A and B are shown apart, each in its own frame.
Chain A
Amino acid sequence: MNAKANKNHVTSIEPAYYEAITEAIRKEAVKILKNETVVGVVGYLPGRRKGTASPALVTTVEEAEKLIFSPACVNNLSVYLTKAKKGVLKQGKVGIVAKGCDMRALAGLMTESQLQREDLFIIGVVCPGVYGFGVQRTGTLTEENIARKCRECTVHMPEGADVAAGTHAELADLTPEEAEEMARIEAMPQTERWAFWKEHFSRCIRCMACRQVCPFCYCEQCLCDKNRPQAVESSPRPAGNMAWHLVRAMHLAGRCGGCAECERVCPMDIPLNLLNRRMAQELKELYDFEAGLTPVEKGPLNEYKENDDQSFIK
């Protein structure tokens, strides 16, 4: 990774850092709207409640001057670019504010021919992290309120953006909670691990928020919506819930960019990103592949190589 030498390790990220990013985003968004590089910019606007923000598609200079970046800017905005979800691209070239983790989704979507680089103007954000769910939203980001995924972030510096907003800062010595939880689950006997997931999935209400915020859930016909014949039980019961989450984990293997949006939006606190990470780990071990760092022609599960590991064929 670049800029390692310039790392500025601190114990808290003060509001001023985010304000500087906000200024840079506004300046850039106003410029590209004014010179008609883009028809709109997908970014964040402040919410009514203290310390909240919402995604927004801004199309005028006045609106662009209200864009913000703060630890409340949790969303992965690339979901708004996929045809199946929003398809704002059909209006013309668009600008998008993207944190490092969101850039991975953009790269993945380019890999899968869902986006063309030339249709995008990417305002990358050098992001020190965002809030976790249900934390104190004080404006200052600390070890206490940072999101779980940000504790192990490897993409603070977005690569491949048109411009980058912010300098490099990150919190020092964060506990890698997700990795620890992964290790704890891995160490469980299989029956216990099964019980762990069964318990979590039993709470699932099938609101499909996980699917709807996922940039890679862009299938126009989701297997789980099929009812003639029904492929996966659509009623929120343990068997169907289990099937849905396992189908989704498998479908995202080698594709998921790790933005953890599915986990963030789950109203029932199901730790879905652990499944994604587990799949990513398999891909890393088997194919030395990490999804979405840069656009590639084909992911490892979409192509055959003679030297692929074939030991699973018995």
Chain B
Amino acid sequence: MPQIITEQNLRNLIDLLVKEAKLVVGPKLSGSVVLYEPLTAGSDLTLDALPRRSSKELFFPICEDILSYKRENGAMKVSDMDRSKFPEAVLIGAPPCDAGSPAILDAVMSWDYKDEFYLERRRKSTIVGIACTKGDDACFCRAVGLAPDAEAGSDLFLTPLKDGSYACKAVTEKGQALVAAHQNLFAEGAGAEPKPFVDQAVEKLDLVKIKKWLEEHFEDPLWEKIADICVGCGACAFICPACHCFDINDEGSTDDGVRRKHWDACGFAKFTNHASGHNPRDVQNKRYRNRIMHKFKYYDDKFGKTLCTGCGRCIRACPVGIDIAEILEQINSK
């Protein structure tokens, strides 16, 4: 028998987790925008709104200190950040396009170099995904192989039902453990019918065909056509659940400061600028091409996964209306 949780009990679960000193992160209204933020109570949770930034920042923060340095008695003292202090975390209320992203990013973060900051947060986190019943004409998760009810990446998956409660499915052991520890909030029951999922304007794409086209069209007028209008900002990359490039900067004085890791974006003109002054991606068309190649070819080549979850954030946010779903449709139909 599937398990059911009412909306009130879902909020009660958050209250309990907060009491257990867990970091609970979920969609929350912050000023005029909804963001994934630490919840202090169940009533903080905003349902039915796709946060402006993706949930990747729970694992890959917008900016984090990785070490600090201080000159003491003439000698430089360097201190690592204590990763054992990262809290146990529960991400609640992420739709499949967000809940699915860490499962994709795990591959690159534990590849030739193990990113212990990301991996430690992953080890200590549980993801409660939620099927998506709201969307707009920028959404295209089905087109890239996900779906509004895809469980990929979730430890516990909730499906909104017509009576306002949620069907729960423990997808992993972490999910089972979360339910087991709070069994009184969950009820047995067949439950009502699920709420209808979102219709999507973009047909399912043939990702194999797209990858093949990309392999054969490193040079193509398409890249210049897009670059004609791309202004080279990082909005698309920064709000993307899958983009994961970062830069490292030492900030502070020569005597006292911090080494910080923070988001970077391939759209920026200086992204690949070498110390020599040479820049292999010196013009915007090479930069935008890299964005598409990275998502739909290189990442697949290395890890067998597509680096896009179809959340549509980049489409909604692009200052100049560049529409990645439209570009993929174009390639798909060639």
Interface residues of chain A, those whose CB is within 8 Å of chain B, are 47-50, 52-57, 75, 79-80, 85-86, 88, 199-200, 203, 205-209, 211-213, 225, 227, 230, 233-237, 240, 261, 264-265, 267-269
20 A-B pairs within 8 Å (CB atoms) are namely A49-B137, A52-B321, A54-B321, A54-B323, A56-B228, A56-B229, A57-B229, A85-B231, A203-B31, A205-B62, A205-B234, A207-B238, A209-B234, A209-B235, A213-B319, A233-B249, A234-B247, A235-B262, A236-B63, A265-B317
Tally chain B residues at the interface, Cβ within 8 Å: 41
B contact residues around A230 at 8 Å (CB): 249, 251
Instruction: Quote the shortest CB–CB distance from A197 to chain B (angstroms).
Output: 12
Which of these, B52, B234, B260, B326, contacts A208 with CB under 8 Å?
Answer: B234
| A261 engages B319 (CB within 8 Å) | yes
Cβ of B248 to closest chain A Cβ, rounded Å: 9
In the assembled complex, B33 has its CB within 8 A of some CB on chain A:
yes
Given A54-B229, A207-B238, A211-B233, CB of A265 within 8 Å of CB of B319: yes
The answer on a CB contact under 8 Å between A269 and B33 is yes
Closest residue on chain A to residue B136 by CB atoms: A49
- Whether the Cβ atoms of B319 and A199 lie closer than 8 Å is no
Which segment of B74-82, B106-114, B263-271, B286-294 sits at the interface? B263-271
Measured between alpha carbons, how far is A296 from B249 in the docked complex, in Å? Answer: 42
B325 within 8 A of A: yes
Closest 3 CB pairs of A and B: A54-B321, A265-B319, A212-B233
Q: Determine if B30 and A47 form an interchain contact, defined as CB atoms under 8 angstroms apart.
A: no
Chain B residues positioned under 8 Å from A88 (CB to CB) = 228
Q: Which residues of B contact A199 (CB under 8 A)?
A: 31
Asked if B270 and A236 make an inter-chain contact with CB atoms under 8 angstroms apart, the answer reads: no
Residues in B with CB closer than 8 Å to A75 are 319-321
A267 touches B249 (CB 8 A): no
Residues of the B chain whose Cβ atoms lie less than 8 Å from the Cβ of A205? 53, 62, 234, 238-239, 263
Which one, A49, A50, A203, A236, contacts B30 given CB within 8 A?
A203
- Encode contact with A along B267-285: 1 for CB under 8 Å, 0 otherwise: 0101000000000000000
Nearest-CB residue, chain A, relative to B247: A234
Q: Which residues of A contact B237 (CB under 8 A)?
A: 207
Give CA–CA (A265, B238) in the complex, Å: 13
Pairwise interchain contact B323-A207, C-beta atoms closer than 8 A: no
> A262 → chain B, closest Cβ, in Å?
10
In the complex, what's the smallest C-beta–C-beta distance from A105 to chain B, in angstroms? 14
B62 close to A48 (CB less than 8 A):
no
Q: Is the CB of B235 within 8 A of A200?
A: no
**Cα-based distance from A216 to B190 in the complex (angstroms):** 61
What chain A residues lie within 8 Å of B73 (beta carbons)? none
